[in-house]
Every structure is written in structure tokens, then in C-alpha cells.
């Protein structure tokens, strides 16, 4: 039931949203192709009797006429298969696009991508590899769902179409039990139903453990890929440490976990496939065995026997849908479970009241947290002064209190320094001020037209230097502006590379990365700027020159920073010593 609940939550955005009738129309078109295929298959079954009877009677003219009919039927089926496949792929990607954008928006809204790994109640499962869930699991969900629903619908229609044919072809079977005569009408239909039911029960007994193994396999594969990506991103540090042997050991350990789970998975799949292949071969033999007495007694022609075999096979396919689709159903359930837990966690994290509708009430721990800590970020008029107010804030790390009763107010333009020893909680407090992490207690109010937080390690990515410099804006900064910014922060040598696409986080040194990060600040001109050791990769004189440029440019801003560089500390008009609030 949990799997179905998750599926309904994930599917409502596409199938019940605005303009959903177009999606249902496209889906109905794919089903129509399946209906036509089944209907033509009915004609082929009727054709079987005529063809094999003509073959047995050596009716040459009729045989060639029936061959021509067969090519017509096959042309229709092939056309419907090709068109149905095209419509299916179009619908699948349409759904994938809508669901991907929805999950992307939820993931990136309100810093959920960060809070997803931080605000984790003890009863909540850790959400690993959100990148894989969005990039791969969404595609699998859409593909599996459409294929399963289309297959189920097609097999139901096949049953409706072929059961009547098989029923009419089945003779009445009479037998005596305890002196009472019993008659079974349409016995071939009952044979097909009983055989399919038995196969379904055995298949579930053999393969029910596949879901857990598939979930674990996806988890292990994603972890292994993530480790490879992190190795590439940190290749310079690994080379300097000469840590290749250690990396190889950890990669081998992770791959061995994949290997062990894969061994369990394939052994379980061998059992499933063995039973599936066995039941398929028996299915081909049962109708011949059941109709052989009637054929030998002259009650059924050879063509009728072939027709019964074809009809029985189609009825059996309909009844056997669960058996044939079992592996896909298990994989579908595993994908829904992974995506559903991810989606549910994002909904809980979301601060939007609209997205909270329909959610269950928050846990007691989350309710208490909401009552204990209050964060207010308000936009103000451009002419108003920015303001930061901190009241009785407590900072905790796991179960240990670092800072308690932190209170201060910054209401004037200028530069302010947070002082304190390493590990005291300065960075944690700055994260609370930035609004990405809640404190344990207290209240924080940040009022400004714009707020920008610059961490110790700048965020760079693979793109053109112009795109990297424009971040976090969506629109690109003009090339002329980029050139001016690079000159102002001492990176004029990079101007010729503005349009080059590189992994800049690997190309630039730590100091160059921090210069580039502060170039963004010069362009954005935030009213409140929060800097966390933003120049610790630069020497004192270089850092001082850069920050003096920044201070001159941001004369109408409130700047709060942490630093261990005396040159930068001297630029601040006021110091706030957090040692007085040490818990």
C-alpha cells in the first residue's frame, strides 16, 4: 500500500494537472494501437483454421489467397507496433520532463538540497544519491509504468477477445465422481485459468525477494558512481597525498559490495527465469494435448486444432500477464520506493504552505524545533537600512551545545567581525544567518533588499568562465562587465579564456577561486554580505588589497565576516566576540 501511495503522489502532477486531457489523449492513442493489434490477432486466429485446413486438403488457390491475407494482417500489426512505440516514447519523455522539473524545483527550493542531508530526524531514512533518483529513477518510473499499464490493458482486451473463441471450441468434458456425473463446459478456458493462477502463485513465491535486492543494487551502484565522481573532482589532492592506493582499496570495497549483491540478485533471477521458461514451454504443449483426443477421433480438423492452439496461447498470455511481467513489476516497485521516499522528504522540508497541504502532521521533534527557533528574512525598501538582529540563539552540534544566548543587533552600515576560536560555532551561526540551517533556540531577523553568503570554498563548476562568473544569476553578465570584474580582482590573465568551457574548480588555485568568488560580489552589490573566511587562501597583502576594493565598492552594505587574518580584521569597525556566549 505504501508503494501505491507513493505512486499516486508522484503521478498526480502529470496525469491530473493542467492540460491533463492532452496526456490522456496521447495515452489513449497508444492503447488504441494495442487494441488494433489484438483485433488483428483475432483475425489471424480465425485465419489459422482456414489456412491449415486448406493446407491439409491441398487447396492451392485458397492457400495463396490466404497467404495474401496474412501479409495484409502482418502489415497492419507492424504499422501499429511502430506507431505505438513512437507514441509510447513521446508520452514517456513528456511525463519524465514534467516530473523531473517538479522534483528539481522541490529539491532546489528553500535550500532543500542542503537541508535534505542536514535536518534528518532519527526516524527518517537517509536519502542517498538524489542525483540518481532525479536523473535515472524518474525515467525508469515513467517507462515501467506506461509499459505495465499498456500491457495489462492489452492482455485484458486479449482475454475478452479470445476467451469466447476458446470457449466455443472447447467440447463438454464429462466425468463421474462418487456415482455422480459432472460436466465441464469450456474446459480449455478453465485449464488456462487454473494453469495461469498456479504459475502466478509459484512465481511470487520464487521471486518476491527481488524488490529488496533491486533497491539495494541501485543504492550500491549509485554510491560507486558517486565515489568515482568525487575522485575525479579531488584528483589533485589525491595526487599530492599519493593516495591512489587508498582510493583503489575503497573503490574495490564498494565494488565488492556490488558484486555480492549482484550474485544474490542473479541467483534469484535464475530461479524466476527457470520457472518462466518452463511454464512457457508447457503452455505450448497443453492445448495440443487437450485437443489431441478430439482430433484423433475426427471431431476436430487439423485447422481447428491449430486455431485452438492459437486461441489458447492468447488466452494463456492474458492470464499469464502477472508471471510474464513479474520482474518488471518488482523493478517498478523498487523505483517507486526510492522516488517516493525522496519526494515525501522534499515535501516535508518544503517551506511553502501550498506544498504542505495534504501532508501528515509534523513529528513532535519538528514541532518543538519550529516553536523553539524563529527565522525571519524580510525584504525592505531600497532606501531603508539593512538590519540583523539575533536574540538568545543557541547553536548545537549533534547533542553538544556550542553557543548559548547569542544576542546582538547590527543596524548600521559597515563591516563587522565575528570573533572566536576554531570550533566555537562561528560558521554554524553564519549558516543560521543565511537561513539554510535552523538554530536550536532563539530568533534571527535579517532585513535587507538582498543577502549574499560567501563560504570558504567557492562554488565553481564546468562551464564557460562567463557562466561561472555570472552565477548565481540566471542571465549572463556581458563580456565587457566580466573583463572589468576580472581586472578588479587581479584575474586579468583569465580574460582570454572567458568563453572556454573548463572544470574551473580543478583549473584554478584556491586563491584564484576566492578572487573569482569575490568578483561575483562586486557585480551583485548585496545590501547584506556574509563572508566566512573568504580570503584564507590568499596571503595577507593580497587579501587586504582585494578586501579594500570590496569595501570601497560596498559602501552602502552591511558586511559580517569571520577571518583569522589580522589585515582583514583591521578593516572592521566592530568586533563581536562569541567567546562570551560559549556554552
Q: Return d(Cα 550, Cα 558) in angstroms, integer.
A: 12
Q: Which of 122-131, 286-295, 522-531 shows the lowest per-residue confidence on average (mean pLDDT)?
A: 122-131
pLDDT given for residue 174 in this prediction: 64
pLDDT score of 108 more than 70: yes
Mean pLDDT over 96-115 rounds to 87
pLDDT given for residue 240 in this prediction: 62
Q: Which of 142-151, 169-178, 367-376, 473-482 shows the lowest per-residue confidence on average (mean pLDDT)?
A: 367-376
Q: Return d(Cα 191, Cα 454) in angstroms, integer.
A: 72
**Domain edges within the chain:** 2-356, 364-583
pLDDT score of 99 more than 60: yes
pLDDT in tens, 59-93: 888 888 889 999 999 999 999 999 999 999 999 99
267 neighbors 210 (Cβ within 8 angstroms):
no
pLDDT in tens, 223-259: 888 788 878 777 766 776 677 887 888 889 889 999 9
pLDDT given for residue 118 in this prediction: 67
Q: Return d(Cα 534, Cα 406) in angstroms, integer.
A: 23
pLDDT given for residue 48 in this prediction: 81
pLDDT given for residue 175 in this prediction: 60
Mean pLDDT over 540-569 rounds to 93
Place of cell 498526480: 12
572 neighbors 416 (Cβ within 8 angstroms):
yes
Please state the pTM of the whole predicted model. Answer: 0.70
Tell me the CATH architecture of domain 2-356.
Up-down Bundle (1.20)
Place of cell 533497491: 215
Q: Return d(Cα 389, Cα 533) in angstroms, integer.
A: 22
CB atoms within 10 A of CB 552: 8
Confidence label for 124 from pLDDT (cuts 50, 70 and 90): low
pLDDT in tens, 503-527: 888 889 999 999 999 999 999 999 9
Q: What is the average pLDDT score of the chain?
A: 83
pLDDT given for residue 541 in this prediction: 93
pLDDT in tens, 130-165: 888 888 899 999 999 999 999 898 888 888 887 777
Query: Do the strands 528-532 and 558-562 form a parallel or antiparallel pair, or are they unpaired?
Result: parallel
240 neighbors 189 (Cβ within 8 angstroms):
no
pLDDT above 70 coverage of the chain, percent: 90
Q: Which of 321, 324, 314 is nearest to 275 (CA)?
A: 324
Confidence label for 535 from pLDDT (cuts 50, 70 and 90): very high
Mean pLDDT over 261-289 rounds to 81
The helix (H) or strand (E) run that includes residue 394 is strand 387-397
Mean pLDDT over 162-177 rounds to 71
Helix, strand, or coil here: 574?
strand
Instruction: Write out the three cell numbers for 568.
Output: 582583514
pLDDT given for residue 91 in this prediction: 95
Q: Which residue has the higher pLDDT, 50 or 288?
A: 50
Q: Do domains 2-356 and 364-583 have the same CATH topology?
A: no
Q: What is the assigned CATH class of domain 364-583? A: alpha beta
pLDDT given for residue 522 in this prediction: 95
Amino acid at each position: 500500500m505504501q508503494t501505491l501511495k507513493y505512486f499516486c503522489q508522484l503521478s498526480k502532477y502529470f496525469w491530473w494537472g493542467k492540460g491533463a486531457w492532452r496526456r490522456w489523449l496521447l495515452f489513449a492513442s497508444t492503447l488504441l494501437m494495442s487494441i488494433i493489434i489484438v483485433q488483428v490477432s483475432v483475425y489471424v486466429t480465425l485465419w489459422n483454421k482456414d489456412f491449415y485446413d486448406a493446407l491439409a486438403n491441398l487447396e492451392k488457390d485458397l492457400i495463396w489467397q490466404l497467404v495474401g491475407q496474412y501479409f495484409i494482417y502482418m502489415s497492419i500489426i507492424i504499422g501499429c507496433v511502430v506507431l505505438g512505440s513512437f507514441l509510447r516514447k513521446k508520452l514517456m519523455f513528456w511525463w519524465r520532463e514534467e516530473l523531473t522539473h517538479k522534483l528539481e524545483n522541490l529539491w532546489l527550493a528553500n535550500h532543500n538540497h542542503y537541508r535534505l542531508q542536514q535536518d534528518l530526524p532519527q526516524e527518517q531514512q537517509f536519502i542517498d544519491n538524489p542525483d540518481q533518483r532525479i536523473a535515472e529513477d524518474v525515467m525508469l518510473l515513467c517507462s515501467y509504468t506506461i509499459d505495465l499499464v499498456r500491457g495489462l490493458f492489452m492482455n485484458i482486451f486479449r482475454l475478452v477477445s479470445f476467451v469466447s473463441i476458446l470457449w466455443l471450441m472447447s467440447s463438454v468434458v464429462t466425468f463421474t465422481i462418487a456415482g455422480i456425473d459432472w460436466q465441464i463446459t469450456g474446459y480449455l478456458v478453465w485449464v488456462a485459468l487454473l494453469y495461469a493462477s498456479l504459475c502466478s502463485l509459484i512465481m511470487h513465491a520464487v521471486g518476491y525477494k527481488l524488490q529488496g535486492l533491486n533497491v539495494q543494487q541501485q543504492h550500491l551502484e549509485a554510491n560507486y558512481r558517486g565515489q568515482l565522481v568525487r575522485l575525479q573532482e579531488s584528483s589533485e589532492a589525491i595526487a599530492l597525498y599519493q593516495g591512489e592506493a587508498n582510493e583503489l582499496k575503497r573503490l574495490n570495497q564498494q565494488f565488492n559490495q556490488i558484486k555480492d549483491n549482484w550474485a544474490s540478485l542473479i541467483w534469484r533471477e535464475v530461479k524466476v527465469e527457470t520457472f518462466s521458461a518452463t511454464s512457457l514451454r508447457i503452455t505450448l504443449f497443453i492445448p495440443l494435448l487437450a485437443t489431441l483426443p478430439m482430433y484423433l477421433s475426427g471431431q476436430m480438423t487439423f485447422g481447428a486444432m491449430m486455431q485452438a492452439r492459437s486461441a489458447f496461447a492468447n488466452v494463456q498470455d492474458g492470464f499469464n500477464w502477472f508471471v510474464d511481467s513479474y520482474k518488471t513489476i518488482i523493478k517498478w516497485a523498487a523505483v517507486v520506493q526510492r522516488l517516493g521516499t525522496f519526494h515525501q522528504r522534499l515535501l516535508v522540508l518544503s517551506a511553502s504552505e501550498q506544498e504542505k497541504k495534504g501532508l501528515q502532521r509534523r513529528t513532535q521533534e519538528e514541532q518543538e524545533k519550529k516553536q523553539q527557533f524563529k527565522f525571519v528574512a524580510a525584504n525592505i525598501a531600497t532606501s531603508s537600512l539593512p538590519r540583523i538582529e539575533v536574540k538568545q540563539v543557541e547553536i548545537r552540534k549533534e547533542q553538544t551545545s556550542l553557543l548559548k544566548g547569542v544576542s546582538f543587533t547590527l543596524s548600521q552600515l559597515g563591516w563587522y567581525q565575528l570573533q572566536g576560536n576554531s570550533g566555537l560555532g562561528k560558521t554554524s551561526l553564519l549558516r543560521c544567518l543565511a537561513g539554510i540551517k535552523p538554530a536550536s533556540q532563539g530568533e534571527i531577523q535579517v532585513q535587507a533588499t538582498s543577502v549574499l553568503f560567501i563560504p570558504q570554498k567557492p562554488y565553481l563548476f564546468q562551464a564557460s568562465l562567463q557562466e561561472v562568473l555570472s552565477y548565481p544569476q540566471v542571465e549572463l553578465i556581458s563580456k565587457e562587465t566580466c573583463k572589468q570584474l576580472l581586472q578588479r580582482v587581479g584575474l586579468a590573465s583569465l580574460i582570454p579564456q572567458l568563453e572556454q568551457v573548463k572544470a574551473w574548480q580543478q583549473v584554478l588555485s584556491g586563491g584564484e577561486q576566492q578572487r573569482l568568488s569575490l568578483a561575483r560580489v562586486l557585480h551583485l552589490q548585496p545590501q547584506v554580505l556574509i563572508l566566512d573566511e573568504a580570503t584564507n587562501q590568499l596571503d595577507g597583502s593580497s587579501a587586504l588589497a582585494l578586501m579594500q576594493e570590496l569595501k570601497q565598492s560596498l559602501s552602502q552594505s552591511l558586511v559580517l565576516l569571520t577571518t583569522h587574518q589580522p589585515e582583514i580584521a583591521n578593516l572592521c569597525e566592530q568586533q563581536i566576540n562569541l567567546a562570551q556566549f560559549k556554552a
